[in-house]
């Protein structure tokens, strides 16, 4: 499956509240151009269950991929999970989704788990929204 066009990605980003009624309360996600074919997506999605997803993505439409990302899920002011693509080749349990993984309690710095629906080659926002809905408030 091809990576979405800039217009389709923009529709995804700005359509989140309407496309996830009952789950998403508000979204401050915005796309900022860093040239004709590169954008930064930044902001927060607030969920009905009390969680907040903070998003920062660098999307390269020329390459057809997410170049880098950082996603963090908060309950109030407490970060309860975060996703990053920092490689950990020394950790064999992450091999199935290398380099994509998430951290969570207990010992969130070292408690890493595979992130099977996170990638550089497809939009991650739908999977993250589902994860937030599944975590509850």
Residue-wise pLDDT for 99-127, tens only, equals 999 998 888 777 899 999 999 999 999 99
Extents of the domains making up the chain:
6-135
pLDDT 10s digits, 28-66: 999 999 877 999 999 999 999 999 999 999 999 999 999
The total of other beta-carbon atoms located within 10 Å of residue 13's CB is 20
Is residue 69 scored above 70 in pLDDT?
yes
pLDDT band at 98 (very low <50, low <70, confident <90, very high): very high
Beta bridge partners of 52: 46, 74
Asked if the model's pLDDT at residue 82 lies above 70, the reply is: yes
**Three-state secondary structure string covering 29-66:** CEEEECCCCEEEEEEEEEECCCEEEEEEEEEECCCCEE
Predicted local confidence at residue 30, as pLDDT: 98
Query: Which pLDDT does position 137 carry in this prediction?
Result: 58
User: Please, how many CA atoms are within 13 Å of residue 44, restricted to the half-sphere of its CB?
Assistant: 11
């Amino acid at each position: 499956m091809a990576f979405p066009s800039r217009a389709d990605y923009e529709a995804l980003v700005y359509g989140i509240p309407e496309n996830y009624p009952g789950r998403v309360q508000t979204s401050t996600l915005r796309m900022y151009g860093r040239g004709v074919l590169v954008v930064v997506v930044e902001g927060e999605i607030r969920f009905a269950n009390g969680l907040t997803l903070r998003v920062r993505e660098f999307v390269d439409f020329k390459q057809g991929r997410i170049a880098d990302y950082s996603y963090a899920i908060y309950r109030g002011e407490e970060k309860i999970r975060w996703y990053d693509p920092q490689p950990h080749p020394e950790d064999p349990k992450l091999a199935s989704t290398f380099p994509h993984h998430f951290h969570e309690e207990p010992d969130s710095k070292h408690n890493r788990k595979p992130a099977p629906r996170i990638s550089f080659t497809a939009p991650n926002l739908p999977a993250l929204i589902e994860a937030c809905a599944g975590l509850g408030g």
